[in-house]
């Protein structure tokens, strides 16, 4: 069963979608979408994952952060601080509607940053599944450089593409998008982070959460290697296991039916192990 509803944070309405299993929920999953996205996820990956999770006995809440999708709020006012606050309220809303105590965050890209920041603020949080997690509050130079060269290489290949020249002759090339991609090195608008986000104690938030984390990356994502090195070292500092799964050949957003099936299955198998309960009560 899926229910659309609205809830509020700081007098602004957020749109949420609740997925309920047929039996009492074993745990609740709160989906945290990335910076440029909204509640459905890239190629509806969050929708597919939430429906698959319901079949396995998990309740799930997908929602739009303020300033995104169908939620209220100005996009320009959104930042990681507001997204963290929304995540905490979303957990409270899930608990109000479903009898679960065990909570899991499932973050995608920037949503992983939100999960880390909200972790110490979320009672009952058991685990985090983090898809394509960027480096939090650390030195991103290597990851940014890898992404930038990936963008440059992609456009260089297009120079030798017949279709690219056809689009050029038709006047169908979006030069504004090309200039933006090259200037930002593949970063979307807002991904540089707001000034207020620099005040978050990222390392402290990561170290305070003592539950398990699963990191899932695409093998062909140019930032994967830098991110893996970063989180492996951070987990070592936290004296926590570094649980990693790499989808071979996949890009940042797992853009293929086979890759998305793999991501969903691996994530839910892992969640059943760390957050599942034999009595089905979520306790």
pLDDT tens digits for range 137-180: 865 444 445 445 445 555 566 666 777 667 777 777 666 665 66
Is the domain covering 2-137+203-275 a CATH 3.40.50.1820 domain?
yes
Say what the pLDDT of residue 143 is. 43
Please state the length of the chain.
283
> Is the pLDDT confidence value at 208 over 80?
yes
CA separation for the pair 162, 151 (Å, rounded): 19
CA separation for the pair 259, 265 (Å, rounded): 10
Domain boundary assignment for the chain? 2-137+203-275, 140-190
Mean pLDDT of all residues belonging to the chain: 86
DSSP 44: G
Q: Which residues pair with 61 in a beta bridge?
A: 18, 30
Contact 220, 250 (CB under 8 A): yes
8 sits in which H/E element: strand 2-9
> Is the pLDDT confidence value at 248 over 70?
yes
104 sits in which H/E element: strand 103-108
DSSP 21: -
Contact 104, 275 (CB under 8 A): yes
- The residues, any chain, with a CB within 8 Å of residue 97's CB and separated by 6 or more, are 18
CA separation for the pair 60, 31 (Å, rounded): 7
Angle at 173 between CA 168 and CA 177, to 5 degrees: 150
Kindly report whether the global pTM for this prediction surpasses the value 0.85: no
> Is the pLDDT confidence value at 21 over 60?
yes
- Average pLDDT on 203-230 reads 95
């Amino acid at each position: 069963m899926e229910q659309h509803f609205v809830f509020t944070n700081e007098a602004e309405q957020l749109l949420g979608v609740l997925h309920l299993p047929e039996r009492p929920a074993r745990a609740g999953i709160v989906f945290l979408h990335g910076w440029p996205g909204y509640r459905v996820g890239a190629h509806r990956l969050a929708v597919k994952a939430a429906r698959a999770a319901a079949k396995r006995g998990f309740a799930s809440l997908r929602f739009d952060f303020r300033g995104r999708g169908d939620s209220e709020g100005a996009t320009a006012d959104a930042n990681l601080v507001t997204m963290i606050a929304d995540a905490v309220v979303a957990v409270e809303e899930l608990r109000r509607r479903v009898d679960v105590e065990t909570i899991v965050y499932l973050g995608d890209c920037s949503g992983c940053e939100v999960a880390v920041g909200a972790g110490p603020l979320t009672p009952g949080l058991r685990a985090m599944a983090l898809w394509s997690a960027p480096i939090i509050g650390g030195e991103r130079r290597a990851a940014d450089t890898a992404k930038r060269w990936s963008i440059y290489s992609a456009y260089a290949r297009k120079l030798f593409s017949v279709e690219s020249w056809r689009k050029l002759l038709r006047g169908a090339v979006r030069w504004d998008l090309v200039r933006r991609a090259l200037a930002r090195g593949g970063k979307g608008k807002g991904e540089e982070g707001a000034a207020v986000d620099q005040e978050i104690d990222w390392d402290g938030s990561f170290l305070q959460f003592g539950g398990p984390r699963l990191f899932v990356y695409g093998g062909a994502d140019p930032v994967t290697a830098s991110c893996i090195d970063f989180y492996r070292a951070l987990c070592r500092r936290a004296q926590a296991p570094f649980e990693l799964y790499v989808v071979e050949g996949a890009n940042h957003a797992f853009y293929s039916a086979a890759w998305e099936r793999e991501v969903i299955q691996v994530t839910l198998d892992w969640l059943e192990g760390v957050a599942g309960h034999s009595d089905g009560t979520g306790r």
